[in-house]
Structure 1
Amino acid sequence: MTNATATQAGKSRRVEKPAAKKRRGGVTGWVPNQHGAWVMVTLPLVIGLCYAGSLRGLPILVPLVIAWYTGYFAFFAFGLWAKAAAVRKAQYVTPLLVYGGICAAASIAVLAQAPHLLWWAAAFGPLVAIAAFEAIQKRPRSLASGISTVIAAALMVPVAVDAVSRPITPHMMAVTGLLAMYFSAMIPFVKTLIRNRGDQRYVIGSIVAHAVALVITGGLVYFGYLHWFTAVAMGAALVRAWWMPWQVARTGKRFSPKFVGNFEVIFTVAVVIGIALAP
């Protein structure tokens, strides 16, 4: 009886441990846990605010920032709600409604001051629709979802400038394109090291995406829309898009998500430096 009791107790402990771990690591829907997304969501907005650059614009820029972040939080909660089992959907409704309500109120405050910003809905609408469709199909991390999201984030550069009625220059649009290309190419690259490690389709796609981005960046540099250092940054990103998956295939070494994220900071900073060096 003693041995049977001990065995049963051991089985109970093995069953209960994953449940406890799940509770500790659970996602409530209030705070997005996609750490890499924070940079993609924040960087274009910060650059746009720098170009907007006037304290007189605070009455419209403050609600714009609130609308942008709460919109992102609401969409994150929506993604969790869409993929959750029926019994768990209710826990994501409250953050979805709270963030959605704040986003709507802040957006109204922005449009009340600058009604002309409404035309940006023509650009954001299809991108949000693609991401929402992928979430409903339970593919929130698909390439289509990721790329549509980062393009929408990049558009915050001209939106912030347009909000204060400053002219959107060709340089600003070149920066918007640069950010969209860099982050879009980063998505398949990260997949080659983590979720789709060893899948040659992603490796080839990542390298091609970086190569195309480098060529376009070089063209923008040639015509004077970007600083030459941005091409250097994109060239370095292309090299790492080839080298790191090659190292994984050659040595069998795996890069941890934390290492990949920290290493990516170097290239993101290089892109920002290139943008900051523009006259």
Structure 2
Amino acid sequence: MKKRSIVIPHEHGGWAMVSVPFLLGMFAGKPQLMHLPLFMGWLLLYLSSYPFLQSMKNKANRRDWIKWGTIYGLLAACCLALPLLSHPALLYFGPLLLVLLSVNIWHTRHKSERALINDLCAVLLFSIGGAAAYLAGGGGWDRMMASVVLFCFLHFTSSVFFVKAVFRERENRRWVAYTRVYHGLLPFVLWAGGYPWMILAYAFSAARAFAFAGKPIRPWKAGIIEIVGAVQFVILSAAIIQR
């Protein structure tokens, strides 16, 4: 890796996962000014994790990766200081985040980042950002917090299956079947969980999966589909949970 003036993750999925759960959690509670430094700290933690994980894969210029990870980490600490002082209960998320991050570190060291369990742990890690935003917005350790995490986990797990079914596992009939079965079961899971109207928020994801799973698709087109899916998911989910 050549030294750069700045290091920024290039995966569009990561940007969606760091922002969508947070926004949903914020709207599930009550938007506060405190959400601004909390989100900046959450975003900077994501930015910090990227170069640190890269340093474990790329020995060349490792010092540069670590430098940027440290810079982002220090900035994250500055942004999170006030939210943590105002809402000390946010610290309870720390141990769980560390456990999930350790799974990502293990897979990175073993060059198996594409493993399903690694993807699901990353999805759950980012989904917890929604719980933190909900807590900072006046929410408690209640059913709504669990629902925010569940909704985001289901949405981004849908993305994991979709991406695998149109790229790396496109010619694997079992993966295409897994993708369609997953999306076919989603309405029943939501109905059983007491949120039948949330089915509307996943309709786009299901249509996308059944239309494109197993078929070749250009990365830019998949990216646009994912962005549209994330935007409509936030809008519909926020409207439904506030009913």
Equivalent runs, 1:145-184 vs 2, <5 Å: 145-167=118-140, 169-184=142-157
Which residue matches 1:46? 23
Which residue matches 2:44? 70
Alpha-carbon distance, 1:28 to partner: 7.3
Mean Cα deviation higher: 262-271 or 69-78: 262-271
Q: Which has the larger radius of gyration?
A: 1
Find the aligned partners of 1:29 and 1:141 in 2 and give their Cα distance.
Answer: 26
Alpha-carbon distance, 1:187 to partner: 0.7
Which residue matches 1:131? 104
Question: Structure 1 pair 106/136, CA: closer, same or farther in 2 (3 Å)?
Answer: farther
TM-score (norm 1): 0.76
Question: Structure 1 pair 194/156, CA: closer, same or farther in 2 (3 Å)?
Answer: same
Q: Percent identity?
A: 22
Alpha-carbon distance, 1:262 to partner: 1.0
Find the aligned partners of 1:204 and 1:255 in 2 and give their Cα distance.
Answer: 18
Which residue matches 1:119? 92
Alignment-mate amino acid for residue 194 of structure 1: F
Question: Structure 1 pair 227/276, CA: closer, same or farther in 2 (3 Å)?
Answer: farther
TM-score (norm 2): 0.85
Which residue matches 1:275? 237
Which residue matches 2:220? 258
RMSD between aligned alpha carbons? 2.6
Find the aligned partners of 2:5 and 2:187 in 1 and give their Cα distance.
Answer: 39
- What is the DSSP-based 3-state SS (H/G/I as helix, E as strand, rest coil) of the residue aligned with 2:8? coil
Alpha-carbon distance, 1:36 to partner: 2.0
Which structure exhibits the higher relative contact order, with contacts defined as CA atoms closer than 8 Å and separated by 6 or more residues? 2
Instruction: Note if contact 1:186-1:206 (Cα within 8 Å) is conserved in structure 2.
Output: no
Which residue matches 1:103? 76
Alignment-mate amino acid for residue 179 of structure 1: C
Alpha-carbon distance, 1:276 to partner: 3.0
Residue-by-residue CA offset, 1:136-186 (whole Å, 9 max, x unaligned): 222334322222122122222221121244335534432321111110121
Find the aligned partners of 2:85 and 2:145 in 1 and give their Cα distance.
Answer: 25
